C-alpha cells in the first residue's frame, strides 16, 4: 500500500486522515523559507496548541538519542516535564536568533515574564544544513521566525504547514546523501474503546549515503559527488498525541522514535544530533499555583505499547515523507543534493 507522495505505507497501524501531525487537533505549523543563492535555509515553527502555552503548559518528554547537537530548551523539559513555548526548528547557527525571537514573542504574549513571573523556556531545535546552506552567513533573522510563528497561529487557513520537503527549516537539509527536509505522518490507535492519534514531524537531515532503507529494503544509489560520507546531519523528531499521558510516559514514547529512525537505516551516527520530543494535548498544567491542577486519569501504562508502536511507525513514515517530498536545491558553492526521486526513480514507479 502507498501512503501520500507515493511513499510506501509502513507499519501496521492506520494513518490519520492527513497522515500528518496536524491530525492531532490543535497542532499547527508555519514555515519561512530562505532561498537566495548560497543562503538555503529557513525555519519551521510548530505551535503545539492555540492559546497561552506559558500560563497553561503541556506535558512533554524528551529522548536524546544522540546528543551531538545544540538545541536549546531541552533541559528544562526534562526537569519539569512541560512545554511552555512554540517550537522553532532551524539551522544550527540559527538557534540563538530563534531563541531571541521566541523570547520576544513570549514577552508580547505574557507581559509579566521576568518580572512578576519567571522567564520562559524557548525551544529552538536544530540540524546542520551547512552543506547546502552558507551557515556562516547567520542568515536567519528574528523576523523570519516571527513570520513562521504567525503562519502557525493562523492555523488551518490554507494549511501552509502541510508543506513538506525542502521548505522552512528543511530547505537546506540533507538525508542519507540525498535532499532531506521536513516530513510528517500520523497513526491512530484504540484503547478501551477510545481512539487516540499520534503525529510526527521530522526535520530529516541524518544518515550516511548508501545506508538508506525504505520499507525494509536498502536503496542503492550512486555515491554523491563530494559531501561528507559520515552522519553529520541530525534529525529532530516532534511527536504530538491527544492521549492523556504525563511527562514520564511521554519520555517513554519519545524514546520509541529511535525505533522508527533505525528502520530507515540510521545507526544514530556519532555526528548526528538525534532528538525526539513528545507532548500531549490532553491536559494543561497551570503556571500559577493558585489555579487548580488537572485531575485527569492518565492512560494505563499498558496502553503505551500502542503509542510506542505509533511513535515508531509515524517517525519512520515521516522520514519517508520528507524524502519523497523533497525538491531539488542548489546552494552554496554550487552544492546540490539529488532528490530521492532523481536517485531512485524506481521507488516512484
Catalytic residues: 234, 272, 274
Shortest separation between residue 7's beta carbon and a second copy, angstroms: 16
Strands annotated E in the chain = 28-36, 39-47, 56-67, 82-83, 87-91, 123-127, 174-175, 178-179, 181-191, 194-204, 213-214, 217-218, 235-241, 273-280, 285-286, 329-330, 336-337
Assigned C-alpha cell, 234: 541530525
Nearest Cα residue to 100 out of 145, 133, 60: 145
Q: Which is nearer to a second copy, 64 or 221 (CB)?
A: 64
Length of the chain: 349
Q: Which is nearer to a second copy, 43 or 309 (CB)?
A: 309
Tell me, rounded to whole angstroms, the distance of Cα 296 from its chain centroid: 27
Assigned C-alpha cell, 27: 497542532
Contacts of 18 (CB under 8 A, 6+ apart): 162, 186
State how far the alpha carbon of 26 is from the alpha carbons of 236, 247, 248, 278, 330, in Å. Answer: 21, 19, 22, 15, 35
d(CA 286, CA 79): 16
For 148-196, give the secondary structure using H, E and C.
HHHHHHHCCCCCHHHCCECCHHHCCCEECCEECEEEEEEEEEEECCEEE
Shortest separation between residue 255's beta carbon and a second copy, angstroms: 7
Shortest separation between residue 160's beta carbon and a second copy, angstroms: 25
Q: Which is nearer to a second copy, 124 or 240 (CB)?
A: 124
Give the 3-state secondary structure of residue 206: coil
Shortest separation between residue 319's beta carbon and a second copy, angstroms: 13
Shortest separation between residue 159's beta carbon and a second copy, angstroms: 30
Number of other residues whose CB lies within 10 A of the CB of residue 172: 33
Shortest separation between residue 80's beta carbon and a second copy, angstroms: 6
Cβ–Cβ < 8 Å for 319, 181: no
Amino acid at each position: 500500500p502507498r501512503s501520500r507522495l507515493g511513499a510506501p505505507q509502513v507499519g501496521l497501524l492506520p494513518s490519520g486522515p492527513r497522515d500528518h501531525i496536524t491530525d492531532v487537533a490543535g497542532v499547527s505549523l508555519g514555515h519561512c523559507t530562505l532561498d537566495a543563492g548560497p543562503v538555503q535555509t529557513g525555519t519551521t515553527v510548530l505551535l503545539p496548541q492555540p492559546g497561552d502555552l506559558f500560563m497553561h503548559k503541556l506535558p512533554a518528554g524528551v529522548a536524546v538519542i544522540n546528543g551531538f547537537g545544540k538545541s536549546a530548551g531541552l533541559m528544562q523539559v526534562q526537569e519539569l516535564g512541560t512545554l511552555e513555548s512554540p517550537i522553532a526548528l532551524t539551522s544550527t547557527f540559527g538557534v540563538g536568533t530563534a531563541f531571541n525571537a521566541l523570547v520576544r514573542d513570549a514577552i508580547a504574549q505574557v507581559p509579566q515574564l521576568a518580572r512578576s513571573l519567571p522567564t520562559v523556556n524557548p525551544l529552538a531545535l536544530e540540524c546542520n544544513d551547512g552543506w547546502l546552506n552558507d551557515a556562516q552567513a547567520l542568515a536567519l533573522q528574528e523576523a523570519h521566525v516571527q513570520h513562521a510563528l504567525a503562519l502557525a497561529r493562523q492555523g488551518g487557513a490554507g494549511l501552509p504547514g502541510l508543506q513538506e520537503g525542502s521548505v522552512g527549516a528543511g530547505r537546506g537539509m540533507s538525508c542519507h546523501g540525498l535532499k532531506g527536509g521536513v516530513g510528517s505522518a500520523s497513526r491512530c490507535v484504540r484503547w478501551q474503546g477510545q481512539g487516540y492519534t499520534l503525529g510526527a514531524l521530522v526535520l530529516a537531515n541524518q544518515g550516511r549515503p548508501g545506508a538508506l532503507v525504505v520499507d525494509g529494503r536498502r536503496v542503492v544509489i550512486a555515491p554523491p559527488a563530494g559531501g561528507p560520507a559520515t552522519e553529520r546531519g541530525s534529525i529532530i523528531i516532534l511527536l504530538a498525541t491527544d492521549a492523556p499521558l504525563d511527562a514520564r510516559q511521554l519520555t517513554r514514547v519519545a524514546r520509541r522514535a529511535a525505533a522508527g529512525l533505525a528502520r530507515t537505516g540510521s545507526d544514530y551516527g556519532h555526528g548526528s544530533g538525534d532528538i525526539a520530543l513528545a507532548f500531549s494535548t490532553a491536559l494543561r498544567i497551570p503556571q500559577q499555583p493558585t489555579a487548580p491542577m488537572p485531575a485527569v486519569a492518565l492512560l494505563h501504562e499498558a496502553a503505551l505499547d500502542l503509542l510506542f508502536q505509533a511513535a515508531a511507525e509515524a517517525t519512520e513514515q515521516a522520514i519517508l515523507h520528507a524524502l519523497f517530498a523533497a525538491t531539488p536545491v542548489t546552494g552554496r558553492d554550487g552544492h546540490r543534493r539529488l532528490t530521492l526521486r532523481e536517485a531512485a526513480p524506481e521507488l516512484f514507479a
